[in-house]
Structure formats: C-alpha cells, structure tokens
Amino acid sequence: MKYTRLTKQQLEELQPEFVNFLASQTITATEWDSLKKEKPEVAEEELDVFSDLIWEGVLSKVEFLENISAQQMHLFHLLEKEMRLISVKVMNPEVDLTTEIGFAWFKKNWQSDFVEYLTASKVYTEDKNIDKFNLIKQGAAITRGDLFKWFDNIIG
C-alpha cells in the first residue's frame, strides 16, 4: 500500500465509487460479500488498492496545503515541478494562531517585529504525490490557498 487506507467514514462516503471500482474488477455485490467472509485478506487488498487510487486522484489535484500550529503557519503552493513554502512564525508566546483571538492578533500585527517570515522552494523527490501525502500526514490540510495567495502578494 502506497498511502493509507481510507477510514470507514470515507469509504462509506465513496460507496458509489467503490461499487464502480468493484465492477471494474468484475466483482459483484454477492461476490464481495462472500469475499469478505471467506477471503478477508483479499477483501483487505481490494480496499487498499481502492484507497491508493482515491489518494492518487486527490493528490494529483492538490494545489495548496496549510499546516497551522499555535505559533507557526506553513503555507504550501504545490506547483508542477516544485513546492513553494511561506513560513510564518509568531514570537509572542501568548498568541495562539489556532484560536480566533490569536488569529485576530496576527491580522492586526502581521507587520510587527513579533512576526518572522521565510520563503523557500523545494523540488519534489521522484514521487511528488508521496511528498504531498507526507505533508498531509504531518498535519497539513488541503485548502484553496487564500492565505498563501495573500502572503504571496504582500511578500512577493
């Protein structure tokens, strides 16, 4: 398995797609039910293959990721050949960017001496979807990139 198996909830939400996947493998609903009972390891493999297919599709379309913690924001723009990073660090230990109050403080004080910025870019390894997936595993969320674009206009 290249990524991680989708959760039960994700699989339930993707049930129509999973049914189509099974159909493409020429597995009927009845065969799937007996497969789960008689050969659970084969059923597990099918779930893993389906999960990887879904992850590949999602990761190939992701353009922006954000990882926001109490004092830092890592904003990623995922381009064709490289990923660009805008890193924001707040040096005020009383500010927590993950709260409404902390983010409001940041919006007022983003130009102060208590805020540091860093930009960087990095070429992908041989598998850019794995690079993206690793960022998600580390806590990044897929976004529309509003924060990255805003900072890119200010800094750039």
pLDDT in tens, 66-93: 999 999 999 999 999 999 999 999 999 9
> For residues 46 and 27, is the Cβ–Cβ distance under 8 A?
yes
pLDDT above 70 covers a percentage of the chain that reads 99
Which amino acid, residue 66? E
pLDDT score at 155:
76
Q: Where are the domains of the chain?
A: 8-61, 64-155
pLDDT score at 51:
96
Across the range 31-36, mean pLDDT stands at 94
Look up the pTM and report it.
Answer: 0.87
pLDDT score at 154:
82
> For residues 142 and 63, is the Cβ–Cβ distance under 8 A?
no
pLDDT score at 156:
66
